[in-house]
Structure 1
Amino acid sequence: MHSKIQDLVKEMIKFGLIKISPQNPFKYASGKEGPIYCDNRLMSSDPKMWALAIELLSETINNKNLKYDFITGVATAGISHAAALAFHRSEPMNYVRSKPKSHGTGKIVEGKVGENSKLLLVEDLVNQGSSIEKVIRLIRDQGHVVDSVLCLVDYQTPNAKKVAKELEIDIFSLINLNQLADICLSEDIINKEGHQLLMRWQQDPDNWQV
């Protein structure tokens, strides 16, 4: 693993962006429970950590040779990261709304965007993939092109992988759940039982229980 990725994960855990508690799970908005909670909105409150994340996102774009017309933040959590990344790379940025405007042109993308523009979606977290599925379908309905999503954290759940396959997109992340689990185990944040619980949740979040 990239040493800077390890440094970033440790800082995210230290700063409270990532919380892992397999034996005492979190309740999600869906009503289901899970062993991990990630709030990357907090990242911008630590400029040094945020700068490292943006640097690594930019490296990912270069290493994967991603091609696009605009860096596009997914509202709301992805907007700040997209803006910082676009500024870092001196490239144009816009953002995609969670639903089309109910007035005017009914557009989904805010900011300058031409017809058939290719958008690189920037998200903070990919969990089950439902959010990106919704916005990608809306974007494509308005004639724009999306084939890649760039995110800080990807849990790599079966549902998200299914969405990616159905939409024929690639999801690129700085950090995945396997890396998080391994680092937390090595840092004694969780024990072997906790590591196994995390992996079980990843494989079947809908039916997971302690």
Structure 2
Amino acid sequence: MTKKELAKEIYRIAHLTGSFTLRSGQVSETYFDKYLFEGNPRVLGAIASELSSRIPIGIDVLAGLEMGGIPVATALSLETNLAAAFVRKQAKSYGTCKLAEGADIRGKKVCVVEDVVTTGGQILLSVKDLREAGAIVEDVVCVIERHPDGRKKLAENGLKLHALFTMDELIAAGADQEAPLEPQNGQGWGD
């Protein structure tokens, strides 16, 4: 599947219409359910194939953020043969009390993996925790860059974002299939 075909397929699978309340409290007639493409093995495999070329050289561990980054990190791990860690929003308070499960991150060059980046807020919190746990984190890969503000915030904090698609690219891909939508205007991604 080409990158353009993949964009069309993600749009076809994840674009929903109806009435949806977004995290912000706004109501939107359109919604993108990212878990629909993450749960599709054919599409997730194609995403991993395309996204693997965006992983910087020298990375030791792919760190998927809870919850949407975990399937993407797993698929990327299978595609690249790089170890994967699964990062909780908060270290568990029992058992091993770990923030990151799976591969050891201490002293390793870690690339954060996320499905969708909007503001970058959760990434910044997780990177702070990963660094405190001994990881070296300079890069983030994502499937979809929803808004450029996220890239800016990450850059201000010493992180380089490598995105497979922007929201505008997905909307343009969907325009071939139906009437085009206005980008960045009241559209949400499911969490």
Give TM class, smaller chain.
Answer: 0.7 to 0.9
In structure 2, the partner of 1:136 is 127
Q: Partner of 2:2: helix, strand, or coil?
A: helix
Change (3 A) 1:186 1:44: closer
Q: Which protein is richer in helix relative to its size?
A: 1
Unaligned runs of 5+ in 1: 206-210
Unaligned runs of 5+ in 2: none
Separation of aligned partners in 1, 2:45 and 2:135: 30
Q: Which amino acid is the alignment partner of residue 173 of structure 1? A: A
Separation of aligned partners in 2, 1:128 and 1:34: 19
Change (3 A) 1:35 1:113: farther
Change (3 A) 1:59 1:36: farther
Q: Which protein is richer in strand relative to its size?
A: 2
Cα RMSD (Å): 2.6
When normalised by structure 1's length, the TM-score is 0.77
Per chain length, whose mean CA-contact separation is higher, i.e. which structure has more relative contact order (CA < 8 Å, sep 6+)? 2
Overall identity of the aligned pairs, in %:
24
In structure 2, the partner of 1:177 is 167
Deviations 1:152-173 (A, max 9, x none): 1111332x13321222111111
Separation of aligned partners in 2, 1:199 and 1:77: 20
**Number of aligned residues:** 188
Change (3 A) 1:112 1:184: closer
Equivalent residues in 2 for 1:109-124, closer than 5 Å: 109-124=100-115
Equivalent residues in 2 for 1:156-167, closer than 5 Å: 156-158=147-149, 160-167=150-157
In structure 2, the partner of 1:208 is none
Of 21, 28, 50, 1:27 maps to 21
When normalised by structure 2's length, the TM-score is 0.84
